[in-house]
Amino acid sequence: MSVKELMTKDIFVIDADATVLEVAREMTDRNADSVIVVDDGDIVGIITEKDVVSKTVAKNRLPGEMDARSIMSSPIISIRPSTGIIEAAELMVKSDIRRLAVMDGNVILGMITYRDIMAISPGLNTILQNLIELHREGDFLRETDVERGICQRCGAMADNLREVNGLNLCEDCSEEEGYYD
């Protein structure tokens, strides 16, 4: 699946000279969490809710006295519409961002967010979370019965090896490792 199939086409832009107060009002009116910043028709950056809070409110600055250019994130990170969803997610993680502009050359076609991607893969989240939990549990013993072979600890030939923590062990060695029938 490509990002073109999943992207949000409803985006809006604001001039780089607009005040942060105007940006915040527009974002509120449109119920948007980001806005593309343009200067003379060229895309120059993006402003997110986080930018407004961290670069204005948290610094006790007046939004009516700051322009969009001073708080925007630039350059904007973008991908082509034909890019796959997995590649888009990897770029978001690598760039530590939650949204990507979908662009064809210098033309913005839409935006794709981590929420868009998560919406199509709720089962994947559960699977990944379970795998992470499994790897955190380092105390469990992994055990599998193996037919005849050589014990990887003592070197003895055994008829009934058991795989314990990645090693094929004879009965005596597997008991020492903590495996009991």
Q: Domains in the chain, please, with CATH?
A: 3-122 (3.10.580.10), 143-177 (no CATH)
- Over range 141-166, report the average pLDDT: 72
Mean pLDDT of 13-41: 93
Average the pLDDT over 137-162 and give the result: 67
Please measure the distance between the N-terminal and C-terminal CA atoms of the chain and give it in whole angstroms: 48
Tokens 């992207």 correspond to 7
Alpha carbon 142 to chain centroid, angstroms: 30
Q: For residues 90-115, give the mean pLDDT.
A: 89
pLDDT of 8 over the 80 cut: yes
Radius of gyration of the chain (CA): 27
Q: Confirm if 51 and 72 have CB atoms less than 8 A apart.
A: yes
Cα–Cα dist 79/87, whole Å: 9
Give the span between the Cα atoms of 95 and 172, in whole angstroms: 51
User: What is the reported pTM?
Assistant: 0.63
Contact 21/64 with Cβ under 8 angstroms?
yes
Q: How confident is the model at residue 179 (pLDDT cuts 50, 70, 90)?
A: low
pLDDT-derived band of residue 130, with 50, 70 and 90 as boundaries? low
What pLDDT is attached to residue 142? 46
- Is residue 169 very low, low, confident or very high in pLDDT (cuts 50, 70, 90)? confident
* pLDDT band with cut points at 50, 70 and 90 for residue 102: very high
Check residues 72 and 92 and name the one with the higher pLDDT: 72
Question: What pLDDT is attached to residue 44?
Answer: 93
At residue 132, the pLDDT reads 61
- In this prediction, residue 143 carries a pLDDT of 45
For residue 129, name the pLDDT band (cuts at 50, 70, 90).
Answer: low
DSSP 110: E
